[in-house]
Amino acid sequence: MNSPDPAFSTDLAALVARLRLFLPPHCLLLGEEDLRPYECDGLTAYRELPLAVCLPETEAQVIDILRTCHSLGVPVVARGAGTGLSGGAMPHAQGVVLSLARFNKILRVDRAARLAVVQPGVRNLAVSEAAAPFGLYYAPDPSSQIACTLGGNVAENSGGVHCLKYGLTVHNVLRIRVVSIEGEVFEIGSEAPDAAGYDLPALMIGSEGMLGVVTEVTVKLVPKPELAQVVMASFADVAKAGDAVAAIIAAGIIPAGLEMMDKAATAAVEPFVKAGYDMNAEAILLCESDGTPEEVAEEIARVTEVLNAAGASDIRVSQSEAERLRFWAGRKAAFPAVGRITPDYYCMDGTIPRKRLAEMLSAIAAMETKYGLRCANVFHAGDGNLHPLIMYDASKPGDWERAEAFGAEILELSVALGGSITGEHGVGIEKINQMCVQYATPEIEAFHRVKAAFDETGLLNPGKAVPSLHRCAEYGRMHVHHGDVKFPELERF
Amino acid sequence: MQLDDIISAVKSAHDSRTPLRIRGAGSKDFYGGLLAGEVLDVASHRGIVAYEPTELYITAKCGTPLAEIEAVLAEKGQMLAFEPPQFGGATVGGCVAAGLSGPRRQQAGAVRDFVLGVKLVDGTGQMLNFGGQVMKNVAGYDVSRVIAGSLGTLGVIAEVTLKVLPKPVAETTLVFACDAAEAIRRLNDWGGQPLPISASFWHDGQLWLRLSGARAAVEAATAKLGGSSTVTPEKHWNSIREQTHPAFAASPLWRLALPSTAPCPELDGLRAIEWGGALRWYAGEIDGDHEAVRVAAASLGGHAVLYRAPESLRCRDGAFAELPPALLALHRRLKKAFDPQGILNPGRLYAEF
């Protein structure tokens, strides 16, 4: 799917000579065996070897690397822990990978101001661990939070189970320090509630490393709720479970987490985590309530009432913290659990309006037959974010191609149902064709203009996130407005 | 005015390089820099396009009055959680363009946090759709949120989709007597605890605190915090949201956004403190030293807006804090990306574009 990029041709010797002027030997990887671990991120289906990997230790080195690459016209792909799932950190064959792994310090935790200043290579969970002694935590919790870094979270606008109530990364980052491709440093956002000028943090967060390199992030910390409790409800019918999600919201309840697993997913995880899931249920809902003990008791009672009215066949409420964690263990371990029952799986990330859940699930069931592949479904049901896990075997000829087509069809249906091709994983290289489905030419052109405002030479993570118009034309889904001639900007037409 | 009329008006302004002044109800004409150009009155482009209570969003055309939106939401027990001021007849387009949030911002977030999607007519008259109607959408750059607070300089907001939230079940307001420094200390102390504080306001030796949430949570917090309760809380919070409270009756009126823990700057004229200590209102003399206010705010890690003042003064000194050169250059390039001829609300945000 990734074709060679003729736009760049790097003189490696010249690049290395320049980098060696300021990077000590242990900060520059060049040998193939050293580069190999960087050939892909969490989406292993797409791989590319970079020419070099830079591991800077100071912001001054980051600035020098970017200036060097800018002056030599070398593409730069910034990378955190590499847990991304859309190939956003896949290297460029003519470029360098700029790893921020050594920017791993928590610079400040301010208890009174409820914020933490961290370097981009700090792991998501480490922020909450550092804040815990103050009764605070960092709310966005991607499933990979034990490994993924804040810089990566900013690049992808990562989410997680708690997004429904506490928001995405964009709602929880206060300030970002950025180095431009020209090596210029600027700070956007503020420890104050807003900053002068355009809301640039909103633009940077989720920009997939295309606009600048992040060297410092200030995040908001929130008080840790006194108590969290989870209700687990079984449904004999997936549509009823979907309706129950809507009924909870309609009742004026915004749970701390509202997740759903279908039968294929529970069948995969139960032997793995032994959470006590109802193996007969067609769908299981997990609904978490957090707050003061009084508040949680009140909300759990209301949620239980709604779930009963929505036709739940069984309802259980966690009676201890250990039980709550066990209920969640399966949902959190769904990916590795599915990984145990199939040689490979392909995790998708579409978002749809909640009320179309049942429709989407039955469409996915039909696609399983069409493509001859099984699919387990886990979702952030509360915000309509689906994670179908398409199971395949990479060693079987044709399997990956069918999995890829299966995934593409899910994403395109997500858009048709009024949703998006990505809720929290990003576009990266993976969904770049589907961007042509979600957005029409004028928007894609506008995205390119935004990109050029930050990175005129197009050296930051080229080929990701925003497709070229040429690519959309080849994908054949270019929207045509007002009967205009098809793709007049392309010579081949 | 229909969408096609807006598009053709912008197209012809683009072709003839005529500056346009985008106007809804005009309720925020007092805010920002220069009011220049031919008026593009979009108030008649109005109406709620879609409202899905169970999906938590509402889509409305730019000229729709906030009052109309809030009335429809109230029928389903929902609200715009950032509590935007209505200032009489404010429209939803103006609300997003100005990016002003009310008392609940400290708990719920700002306008930008609730923007899910916009239909934007850019400075060439091109119709652009960003974002959508779902909560989670990270495809492409998040242009819709950048539109919040951009004061119409990047495009005419034709239609906007906002996330809505259920109204809290219970609400109580408590009042404490204390000075400003003590108010800031208490607010930050409380802010670090799991308390359902949805708004705060200090003025003239009194600190008002609103608690919102589940009945049990509000009752438990009331018992814990003490203070005296008040009889007309709704009227009180409305007067803060709409800035009809006497604390806001000053010209010029300065709005200082600061880290919530920042001490009170050494300036005369502190009128009020909001948002858990992060928003401070000051009355400054017209012939006073405006530079001193800017410097004081910046030295504490925030910024000062010359919020309500004669237009001549806002144009002379700039309504908003100056940007560092690298950021100003970036702003110019972004402006150009959406409005190459610079015809949309020129000078309203910064004199430079």
Q: B278–A185: do the CB atoms touch at under 8 Å? A: no
Residue A246 near residue A355, CB atoms below 8 Å: yes
* pLDDT (0 to 100) of residue B231: 74
Considering only alpha carbons, which residue of chain A is nearest residue B319? A196
Q: Calculate what percentage of chain B has a pLDDT beyond 70.
A: 99
Q: What is the mean pLDDT of residues A318-345?
A: 90
Which residues in chain B are closer than 8 Å to A300, comparing Cβ atoms?
none
A-chain residues within 8 Å CB-CB of B53? 249-250
Distance CA A419, CA A250 (A): 20
- Chain B residue with the nearest C-alpha to that of A191: B259
Alpha helices in chain B (DSSP H): 3-16, 66-75, 92-98, 105-108, 111-114, 143-147, 180-191, 215-225, 233-241, 290-299, 311-317, 325-338
Residue B261's nearest CA partner among B194, B200, B209, B191 is B191
Residue A13's CB is within 10 A of a number of other CB atoms, namely 8
Instruction: Give the residue ranges of DSSP H helices in B148-254.
Output: 180-191, 215-225, 233-241
Residue A490 has pLDDT above 60, yes or no: no
Partner A contacted by B56 (CB < 8 A): yes
Q: A120 is written with which tokens?
A: 């981009």
For tokens 């005529």, the residue is B18
Q: Which residues of B touch A112 (CB under 8 A)?
A: 188-189, 192, 261
Q: Do A196 and B321 touch (CB under 8 A)?
A: yes
Q: How confident is the model at residue A369 (pLDDT cuts 50, 70, 90)?
A: very high
Nearest to A352 among B134, B142, B216 (CB): B134
Q: Is the ipTM of this complex over 0.90?
A: yes
Residue among B320, B284, B247 at smallest CA distance from B99:
B320
Cα angle for residues A459, A463, A466 (degrees, 5° grid): 105
For B219-233, how does the pLDDT look when each residue is reduced to its tens digit (9 = 90+)? Answer: 999 999 998 887 789
Report pLDDT for A3. Answer: 53
N-terminal to C-terminal alpha carbon distance within chain B? 27
A267-281 per-residue burial string, b: 16 or more CB within 10 A, e: under 16: bbbbebbebebbeeb
How close A274 gets to chain B, by Cα (Å)?
31
Q: How far apart are CA B63 and CA B48, in angstroms?
A: 10
Window from A184-198, A277-291, A300-314, B219-233 with minimum mean pLDDT: B219-233
Search chain B and give the residue with CA nearest A114. B192
- Chain-chain contact of A384 with B145 (C-beta, under 8 angstroms): no
Euclidean distance between CA atoms B195 and A292, whole angstroms: 8
Burial A60-94 (b: 16+ CB within 10 A, else e): ebbbbbbbbbbeebbbbbbbbbbbbbbbbbbbbbb
Predicted local confidence at residue A477, as pLDDT: 56
Q: Both tokens of residue B80?
A: 């715009």
Tell me which residue of A237, A323, A333, A250 sits closest to A288, measured CA to CA.
A323
Q: Per the CB < 8 Å rule, is A294 touching B216?
A: yes
Residues B129, A440: C-beta atoms closer than 8 Å: yes
Min mean pLDDT across A150-154, B171-175, B215-219 is at: B215-219
Structure tokens at B233: 């809380």
Of the residues B138, B150, B352, the best mutation for testing chain A's interface (the one with the most A CB atoms within 10 Å of its CB) is: B138
pLDDT-derived band at B266 (thresholds 50, 70, 90) equals: confident
Residue B97 has pLDDT above 80, yes or no: yes
Q: Encoding tokens for residue A340?
A: 């145990």
Q: By the CB < 8 Å criterion, does B317 face chain A?
A: no
A-contacting residues of B 10-49, CB under 8 Å? none
Q: Answer whether residue A486 shows pLDDT above 80.
A: no
Say yes or no to pLDDT of B36 above 90: yes
C-alpha A255: how far from its chain's center? 21
Report whether B121 contacts B6 (CB < 8 A).
yes
The sign of the dihedral angle between the CA atoms of A236, A238, A243, A248 is positive
Residue B40 banded pLDDT, cuts 50, 70, 90: very high
- Is A111–B321 a contact, with Cβ atoms under 8 angstroms apart? no
pLDDT at B284: 83
* Closest by Cβ to A193, choosing from B110, B142, B320: B110
Q: Which residue of A has its CA nearest to B352?
A: A197
Task: Tell me what pLDDT residue A245 has.
Answer: 93
Task: Please compute the mean of the pLDDT values over residues A356-377 and round it to a whole number.
Answer: 94
- pLDDT (0 to 100) of residue A485: 46
pLDDT class for B285, splitting at 50, 70, 90?
A: confident
User: A252 and B219 in contact by Cβ < 8 A?
Assistant: no
Nearest to A167 among B113, B128, B278 (CB): B113
The answer to whether A389 touches A346, Cβ cutoff 8 Å, is: yes
Instruction: Give the pLDDT score at A273.
Output: 86
CB contact at 8 A, A178 and A188: yes
Q: Which residues of A touch B165 (CB under 8 A)?
A: 254
Rg (CA), chain B: 20
Write the DSSP symbol of residue B269. Answer: -
List residues bridging with A179 in a β-sheet.
A185, A213
* Residue at A149: amino acid letter: T
Contacts of B55 in chain A (CB under 8 A): 246, 249, 353-355, 384
Report in angstroms the alpha-carbon separations of A361 from A12, A239, A336, B164: 49, 9, 22, 26
Give the separation between CA A132 and CA A130, rounded to whole angstroms. 6
d(CA B146, CA A207): 13
3-state SS, residue A173: strand
| B195 shares contact with chain A (CB less than 8 Å) | yes
Amino acid at A120: P
Residues A48, A50, A56, A59, CA torsion sign: negative
For residue A389, the cross-strand partners are: A347, A376
Query: From the list B134, B142, B194, which residue is nearest A203 (CB)?
Result: B142
Residues of A in contact with B54 (CB under 8 A): 246-247, 249-250, 354-355
How many contacts (CB atoms, under 8 Å) link A and B? 264
Check if the beta carbon of residue A380 is closer than 8 Å to that of residue A419.
no
pLDDT for the residue numbered A492: 35
- Assess whether pLDDT exceeds 90 at residue A482: no
CB contact under 8 A, A418 and B259: no
For residue B237, pLDDT over 90 is answered with: yes
Is residue A232 within 8 A of residue A286, CB to CB? The reply is: yes
Question: Are A489 and A469 contacting, i.e. CB atoms less than 8 angstroms apart?
Answer: yes
Is the minimum CB–CB distance between B327 and chain A shorter than 8 Å? yes
Ramachandran assignment for A103, one of left (phi > 0), alpha (psi -120 to 50 degrees), beta (any other): beta
User: What integer pLDDT is reported at residue A228 of this predicted model?
Assistant: 96
Residue A204 Rama label (left phi>0; alpha psi -120 to 50; beta): alpha
CB atoms within 10 A of CB B246: 11
In three-state secondary structure terms, B99 is coil
pLDDT of residue A333: 83
Q: Which of B138, B320, B326 sits opposite A206 (nearest CB)?
A: B138
Give the H/E segment covering residue A307: helix A293-309
Residue B279 has pLDDT above 70, yes or no: yes
**Taking a C-beta distance cutoff of 8 angstroms, is the pair B137, B116 a contact?**
yes
B192–A134 C-beta distance less than 8 A = yes
Task: Give the span between the Cα atoms of B94 and A369, in whole angstroms.
Answer: 50
Residue A354, token pair as written in the block: 């909640």
What per-residue confidence (pLDDT) applies to A481? 46
Mean pLDDT of A249-264: 94
- Mean of per-residue pLDDT scores for chain A: 93
The predicted model gives A126-131 an average pLDDT of 98
Q: How far is CA A377 from the centre of its chain?
A: 17
Which residues in chain B touch residue A184, judged by CB atoms under 8 angstroms apart? 326
Q: Which structure tokens are listed for A91?
A: 């290297």
Question: Which stretches does DSSP call E strand in A269-409?
Answer: 283-291, 314-317, 344-347, 350-351, 375-380, 385-392
Residues of A in contact with B216 (CB under 8 A): 292, 294-295, 297-298
CA-CA-CA-CA torsion sign (A204, A210, A212, A215): positive
Helix (H, G, I), strand (E, B) or coil at A313: coil
A15-42 pLDDT, tens digit each: 999 999 999 999 999 999 999 999 999 9
Task: Quote the CA–CA distance of B150 and A305 in Å, as a whole number.
Answer: 44
**What is chain A's percent helix, strand, coil content, to nearest 5?**
40, 20, 40
Q: Cis peptide before B252, with omega less than 30 degrees from 0? A: yes
pLDDT > 90 in chain A, percent: 86
Which one of A109, A157, A178, A194 makes the best mutation probe of the B interface by having the most chain B beta carbons within 10 Å? A194
Distance (Å, whole) CA B296 – CA B314: 18
Q: Is the dihedral of CA B50, B76, B25, B245 positive or negative?
A: negative
Tokens of B82: 């950032």
Say what the pLDDT of residue A4 is. Answer: 62
pLDDT tens-place string over residues A60-101: 999 999 999 999 999 999 999 999 999 999 999 999 999 999
Counting Cβ atoms within 10 Å, is residue A9 exposed (0-12), middle (13-18) or buried (19+)?
A: exposed
Average pLDDT over residues A354-381: 93
Q: Which residues contact B105 (CB under 8 A, 6 or more apart)?
A: A193, B82, B83, B275
8 Å CB contact of A443 and B133 = no
CB distance A201 to A66 below 8 Å: no
Q: In this predicted model, what pLDDT tens digit does every residue of A294-321 receive, in sequence order?
A: 889 999 999 999 999 999 999 999 999 9
CB contact under 8 A, B320 and A159: no
Whether residue B344 lies within 8 A of chain A, CB to CB, comes out as no
How far is the C-alpha of B353 from the C-alpha of B341, rounded, in Å?
A: 10
Band (pLDDT 50/70/90 cuts) for residue A358 is confident
pLDDT digits (tens, 9 = 90+) for B143-162: 999 999 999 999 999 999 99
Residue B136 to residue A384, Cβ atoms within 8 A:
yes
Core vs surface per residue A355-388: b (16+ CB within 10 A) or e: bbbbebbeebeebbeebebbbbbbbbbbbbbbbb
Helix or strand run (H / E) with residue A14: helix A12-20
Q: What confidence score (pLDDT) does residue B228 get?
A: 85
pLDDT of residue A103: 98
A109 and A134 Cβ atoms separated by less than 8 Å: yes
Q: Which residues of B touch A247 (CB under 8 A)?
A: 54
B245 and B239 in contact (C-beta within 8 Å)? yes
3-state secondary structure of B239: helix
